Structure 1
Amino acid sequence: MSENSKIQKGRGTLNNIDSRFNEFQRTVIDDGWFVEELPPATTEISIENARSIISRNTSPDVPFEQSVNAYRGCEHGCIYCYARPSHAYLGLSPGIDFETKLTIKPNAAELLREELMAKNYRCSTLSLGANTDPYQPIERHYSLTREVLEVMIEFSHPVNIVTKSSLIERDIDLLKQLAEKQLVHVHLSITTLDKTLARKLEPRTSSPQRRLQTIETLKANGIPVSVLLAPVIPVLTDIELENIIDASAQSGAENIDYIFVRLPREVSPLFNDWLHTHYPDKAEHVMNRIKDSRNGKTNDPRFGYRLEGQGLYAEMIKKRFEVAIKKYPLNKSPAVLRTDLFHKPTKQMSLF
């Protein structure tokens, strides 16, 4: 396959790496006899009538116990996305299938309402964006995330949102209602300020500059907003660490944190292929630095190491981050959302 045939505008990868659960694994080999020109990768939508919607989490590395994902797969196409391997459970490729063969759960809000009404439900912050972006492009049409937020308002339930999309501005009316009761916190994820790199790295997300504008807009509307530098990629984006922190603070972010890149399962070969396609002169350097910080591998799943890494290089990133945020009034008081306002709406009985 030629280098050009690996690249398509608006897609993170055209690699159709097999699901690890497939009975047979295929390998594409370029024998030099022909150039395979692939047709444009179009988005396909399938419907899942889910039976439950709240996912529980026991990891000490993340600050939430439960999350809601109204979509499977993500059209943003971020090549480094740790959620790509989840598509293998559907018998689909964590590669191009992850960003083109999407599943929607149209009954997400209905299911959520039912689960919150359960007698044994215990209120704790719900996270949107734990697996795939709740404001990916198809949300503009299906509005499933907006419906979920309406349920949050109905129950006075706290919600934490992580996104790379300025589409969240559409729901400012709902977010303001939640913010007035201290029930919402938004995290804008920023990887780079380089627009050229961003188009290759995370092709269908809002531009970095547009995300900074969104921080300003949310802040102006009284909606708590933080920034997540995610992921920090050695050689490619780590040089921007201080600049991203500066731009985020100037835009109004209240808190800033970071996640060191990790490449679980199929993400590792996909990312390596992407590097050799777009940045062949840096590919080996990037991968070696990641391995230096992941105990000789590209992913270390152990709690306590997954998000920051370990070793001299990871420690250097951590020290740089700590020094940089001291220049601004950041991370002084971690956002704590209220759970005491949670209530179950009374069902009105019919008189007839």
Structure 2
Amino acid sequence: MGHAEGDGIRRLAATSRPAEARRGRGATANPDGRFEAIRRESFDDGWAADTPARLRTVVTAERARTLITRNTSPDISFDRSVNPYRGCEHGCVYCFARPNHAYVGLSPGLDFETRLFHKPDAVKLLTAELSAPGYRPATIALGTATDPYQPIEREHRLTRGILEVLARFRHPVGIVTKSNLVVRDLDLLADLARDNLVKVAVSVTTLDPGLARRLEPRAPHPAKRLEAIERLSEAGIPVMVIAAPVIPSLNDHEIEAILGEARARGAREASHVLLRLPHELDALVDDWFAEHYPGRRAHVMSLVRQARGGRAHDAEYGRRMVGAGPYADLIVQRMRLARSRLGYPEERLRLRTDLFARPTDQLSLF
């Protein structure tokens, strides 16, 4: 990694892993989290095996006390969310949730995609929180930090269990995913959709399989995501396509094509998120570019900073999702024009809350 400049990149070089060991992973290194008191450094002592062992995925149970997380951000359309998993095996190098792994003493790098946590009590916790006398319904966002349909969902089925709870309570839910595994739950989603209680947002970063493999190595092929949009739409489930993240000089030329392909398959809404690089993500993405696209690295990072007030990340409400300045404004204009030309409805679908009801066991007495 010595070809990249800057203190952040030198730090990542000290925690890099051999390419063979991290094949199929997104991050190029495993830097220490920002809260760690010590710093690790890898070095060759001559005893390493000729063929380094592949990094394996390790899943650990996390005993959470609550499941619903609240927020007061005016940038997003929901005030509560649920994430049944911590970390994500999809390995998207740009994932803004990577820095969260530092809160549990792990690296936002390779640890984020190989050392995962599942919440086995998710169904019980959610049932208890929705049953509380003072609870008032509003749309729950499912999968705002890590993908609820990442590969380990096939085994743990926490997302399926959460949807079953929400269906019993007739509670509205918005799902964000980049996995076609979502179609496994068509029965539950179609049931919720009949009462206007669900919307699914499918993230399509690029239509280029080669780029997708580098950016998000264990996420489903772009064609599978488009197929998922089509199957969901055919089942009467409203779908939004998210062109995210828009990465300057890498995938920004695909915006209109992504929206067009999604619209042809039934998507009724479209949005975007401009690449944002909070905390350790700045150095991680910079290091990824140094390895995969060294010739574009400086230009990409320059445009990101132009749209973020000279920084890699701007946390200011109103700007953190879409940025500000000439480049960011151009992306917003292109999105608006593409939606209009392709016939996306102007009005966003609002989910119902008036059907919410706590299940009762009284009928079992008769």
| Aligned match for 2:294, one of 280, 300, 306 | 280
| Separation of aligned partners in 1, 2:40 and 2:118 | 28
Other-structure match for 2:18: 5
| Separation of aligned partners in 2, 1:139 and 1:71 | 9
Shift of 1:58: 0.6
Cα deviations across residues 71-100 of structure 1 (Å, max 9, x unaligned)? 110000000000000000000000000001
Conservation of the 8 A alpha-carbon contact between 1:166 and 1:210: yes
Shift of 1:25: 2.1
Cα deviations across residues 229-265 of structure 1 (Å, max 9, x unaligned)? 1100000000111111111111111000111110000
Cα deviations across residues 122-144 of structure 1 (Å, max 9, x unaligned)? 10000001110000000011100
1:110 equivalent to 2:148? Answer no
1:156 equivalent to 2:170? Answer yes
Conservation of the 8 A alpha-carbon contact between 2:242 and 2:273: yes
| Separation of aligned partners in 2, 1:76 and 1:131 | 12
Of 67-76 and 4-13, deviating more is 4-13
Other-structure match for 1:147: 161
Other-structure match for 2:234: 220
| Aligned match for 1:80, one of 94, 108, 119 | 94
Conservation of the 8 A alpha-carbon contact between 2:17 and 2:30: no
Name the SS for the 2:210 alignment partner. helix
Conservation of the 8 A alpha-carbon contact between 1:136 and 1:165: yes
Other-structure match for 1:48: 62
Shift of 1:349: 9.0
Other-structure match for 2:138: 124
| Aligned match for 1:193, one of 198, 207, 213 | 207
| Aligned match for 1:252, one of 259, 263, 266 | 266
Cα deviations across residues 51-87 of structure 1 (Å, max 9, x unaligned)? 1100001100011010111111000000000000000
Shift of 1:26: 3.1
Q: Structure 2 counterpart of 1:41, which letter?
A: L
Cα deviations across residues 191-218 of structure 1 (Å, max 9, x unaligned)? 1100000000011111111111111100
Name the SS for the 1:298 alignment partner. coil
Shift of 1:6: 3.7
Alignment of 1:186-335 (within 5 A): 186-335=200-349
| Separation of aligned partners in 1, 2:145 and 2:246 | 18
Superposition RMSD in Å: 2.1
Name the SS for the 1:5 alignment partner. coil
| Separation of aligned partners in 2, 1:175 and 1:285 | 42
Conservation of the 8 A alpha-carbon contact between 1:6 and 1:15: no
| Separation of aligned partners in 2, 1:235 and 1:221 | 36
| Separation of aligned partners in 2, 1:118 and 1:332 | 37
Conservation of the 8 A alpha-carbon contact between 1:10 and 1:203: yes
Conservation of the 8 A alpha-carbon contact between 1:5 and 1:36: no
1:69 equivalent to 2:83? Answer yes
Structure-2-length-normalised TM-score: 0.91
Q: Structure 1 counterpart of 2:166, which letter?
A: M
Shift of 1:37: 6.1
* Identity fraction in percent: 49
- In structure 2, the CA distance between the partners of 1:349 and 1:40, relative to structure 1 (3 Å rule), is same
Name the SS for the 2:81 alignment partner. strand
Q: Structure 2 counterpart of 1:65, which letter?
A: D
Conservation of the 8 A alpha-carbon contact between 2:17 and 2:29: no
| Separation of aligned partners in 1, 2:187 and 2:216 | 28
Name the SS for the 1:326 alignment partner. helix
Q: Structure 2 counterpart of 1:263, which letter?
A: L
| Separation of aligned partners in 1, 2:123 and 2:358 | 15
Shift of 1:331: 3.3
Of 105-114 and 324-333, deviating more is 324-333
Q: Structure 2 counterpart of 1:243, which letter?
A: A
| Separation of aligned partners in 2, 1:37 and 1:93 | 24
Shift of 1:303: 0.3
| Separation of aligned partners in 2, 1:299 and 1:171 | 36
Shift of 1:332: 2.3
Of 163-172 and 35-44, deviating more is 35-44
Conservation of the 8 A alpha-carbon contact between 1:43 and 1:100: yes
Other-structure match for 2:351: 337
| Separation of aligned partners in 2, 1:11 and 1:348 | 51
Shift of 1:28: 4.9
| Separation of aligned partners in 1, 2:347 and 2:327 | 28
1:22 equivalent to 2:40? Answer no
- In structure 2, the CA distance between the partners of 1:140 and 1:245, relative to structure 1 (3 Å rule), is same
- In structure 2, the CA distance between the partners of 1:272 and 1:35, relative to structure 1 (3 Å rule), is farther
| Separation of aligned partners in 1, 2:50 and 2:28 | 12
| Separation of aligned partners in 1, 2:323 and 2:356 | 37
Conservation of the 8 A alpha-carbon contact between 1:5 and 1:37: no
Q: Structure 1 counterpart of 2:156, which letter?
A: Y
